[in-house]
Amino acid sequence: MSEGFRRLTPEEALEIIKKQQRGKLKIFLGYAPGVGKTYAMLNEGNRRLKRGQDVVIGYVETHGRKETEAQIGNLEIIPRKKIEYHGMILEEMDTDAIIARKPEVVLIDELAHTNAPGSKHKKRYEDVEEILRHGINVITTLNIQHLESLNDVIQQITGVAVRETIPDSIVDSADEIVAVDLTPDALLNRLKRGDIYPVSKVDECLSNFFRKGNLNALRELMLRLTAEEVDIELEEYMKEHGITDTWETNEKIMVCITPNPLSKKLIRRGARRARRFKCDWVVVYVNCTHFLAPKLTEKDKEVLESHFMLAKQLGAEVYTLTGKSVSDELLKFAKQMHITQIIIGHSQRSRLQTFFRGSTVIKLIKKAKNIEIHVIPYK
């Protein structure tokens, strides 16, 4: 039996079977109307069609944009379902017709759309979920402001309350997310030319949703979300392949503290480095159970609590570990968390303690693999 082999549990095996039977979901994610999500979706559909895949359009909204309309090309369009509502005829995606047609891939625009009353499902993402369960792959589009968890943040940034939202779990379950990016300046130029909305609406758009500050903030939210999804995929890949080394794809900082009052210096140093790298960081204390380790006094506990409060105020996650060897616990935790930088103070052990137990700093430097160690003087 190979060293990396591990027998699957029945639950894990069942989950794999479900994933194999379920269609794959790909999302083209944008930060504002007009960045090119629908264009990119249709463009991919045509490329797949040329490669011999069975691709159809389940629903597309071109908003009268000529470049987008041209991308429909030779793609088959499933006719929309007509629904009568208060004397009006509304058109919605025909989910049952798509399932009956059973293409290999279906293109579905505007994932966060709310269906007309009388539709099979209230929200389009529910239609997509049903289609995926029938083994049909779905390519769709979404703007960052429609994520439920960001609803309050979006309203604070833009002043607009977004009513059409989808659960974050839909995005979390996606097999692939593609960020459709365009600089705010380029997007504003498209808007002013009338490529997004009619020229008559440009001034209103520029003074509301399309303010440059709004666009910059929304763009950063989109890029951060995409980066987080990539990190999750990388972590899953490393687990599946038994990779325990730290890959420096994204910085993550760990600050190691003790009850020493001067550990606040280390916490502040960690906060500054995390801000510089725009990365996550953690603050860790090891409750050492070695018989030579000094016992915590009430004063020590108070100091540690103040350290934890400072770390949380500065944006860190705080962890308390327990073990006989401080260095072993720190290294084990660093591997689990994919830490790339460790900040630690000079050893505070007495000569006797160092003689019998060694130096935590020296052990970290010797044993840490692919992790930078920053040793900070306490004075």
Domain residues for the domain of 214 are: 17-241
Q: What is the DSSP string of 127-145?
A: HHHHHHHTT-EEEEEEEGG
From 241, 276, 305, the end of a domain falls on: 241
Residue 226 lies in a domain: yes
Of 181, 187, 194, nearest to 64 by C-alpha is: 194
From 214, 241, 268, the end of a domain falls on: 241
Overall size of the chain counted in residues: 379
Based on the fold, state whether residues 174 and 38 are members of the same structural domain. yes
Based on the fold, state whether residues 44 and 157 are members of the same structural domain. yes
Please report the pLDDT score of residue 378 as a whole number: 63
- Residue with the two structure tokens 């977004």: 162
How far is residue 299 from each of residues 237, 254, 260, 307, 321, measured CA to CA in Å?
Answer: 45, 24, 10, 12, 20
Per-residue pLDDT of the chain (379 residues; tens, 9 = 90+): 444 445 656 665 565 555 668 999 999 999 999 999 999 999 999 999 999 999 999 999 988 888 889 999 899 999 999 998 888 899 999 999 999 999 999 999 999 999 999 899 999 999 999 999 999 999 999 999 998 888 888 888 888 888 899 988 898 889 999 999 989 999 999 999 988 888 888 888 888 888 898 899 899 888 888 876 655 554 565 566 555 554 444 689 999 999 999 899 999 999 988 888 878 899 999 999 887 788 899 999 999 999 999 999 999 999 999 999 999 999 999 988 889 999 998 766 556 555 555 678 888 888 887 788 999 886 6
| CATH (domain of 292) | 3.40.50.620
| CATH (domain of 219) | 3.40.50.300
Please report the pLDDT score of residue 192 as a whole number: 92
Based on the fold, state whether residues 195 and 105 are members of the same structural domain. yes
Residue 248 lies in a domain: no
Based on the fold, state whether residues 175 and 280 are members of the same structural domain. no
Q: Whole-angstrom Cα distance, residue 237 to residue 215? A: 33
Q: What is the count of structural domains for the chain?
A: 2
Residue 1 lies in a domain: no
Q: Whole-angstrom Cα distance, residue 66 to residue 55? A: 22
Based on the fold, state whether residues 36 and 132 are members of the same structural domain. yes
Residue 247 lies in a domain: no
Beta strand segments in the chain, E: 25-30, 55-59, 76-77, 81-85, 88-92, 105-108, 137-143, 176-179, 252-257, 280-288, 317-323, 341-345, 372-376
Residue 332 lies in a domain: yes
3-state helix, strand, coil in the chain (%, to 5): 45, 20, 35
Residue 224 lies in a domain: yes
Based on the fold, state whether residues 222 and 315 are members of the same structural domain. no
Q: Whole-angstrom Cα distance, residue 27 to residue 20? A: 19
Please report the pLDDT score of residue 338 as a whole number: 85
Please report the pLDDT score of residue 362 as a whole number: 84
Phi, psi dihedral angles at 190 (to 5 degrees): -60, -40
Please report the pLDDT score of residue 230 as a whole number: 56
Based on the fold, state whether residues 212 and 301 are members of the same structural domain. no
- Answer whether 110's CB lies under 8 Å from 143's CB: no
Please report the pLDDT score of residue 3 as a whole number: 43
- Answer whether 198's CB lies under 8 Å from 146's CB: no
H or E segment at 230? helix 212-240
3-state secondary structure of 340: coil
Based on the fold, state whether residues 97 and 175 are members of the same structural domain. yes
- Answer whether 35's CB lies under 8 Å from 187's CB: yes
From 241, 268, 294, the end of a domain falls on: 241
Based on the fold, state whether residues 88 and 148 are members of the same structural domain. yes
- Residue with the two structure tokens 């399932």: 99
Based on the fold, state whether residues 104 and 70 are members of the same structural domain. yes
Based on the fold, state whether residues 235 and 372 are members of the same structural domain. no
Please report the pLDDT score of residue 11 as a whole number: 64
Residue 98 lies in a domain: yes
SS3 letters for 253-314? EEEEECCCCCHHHHHHHHHHHHHHHCCEEEEEEEEECCCCCCCCCHHHHHHHHHHHHHHHHC
pLDDT digits (tens, 9 = 90+) for 176-213: 999 999 899 999 999 999 888 888 888 888 888 888 98
Long-range contacts of 229-238 (CB under 8 A, 24+ apart): 229/171, 229/174, 229/177, 235/338, 238/338
Based on the fold, state whether residues 301 and 237 are members of the same structural domain. no
Q: What is the DSSP letter of 324?
A: S
**0.85 exceeded by the pTM?**
no
Residue 5 lies in a domain: no
Q: Whole-angstrom Cα distance, residue 373 to residue 27? A: 39
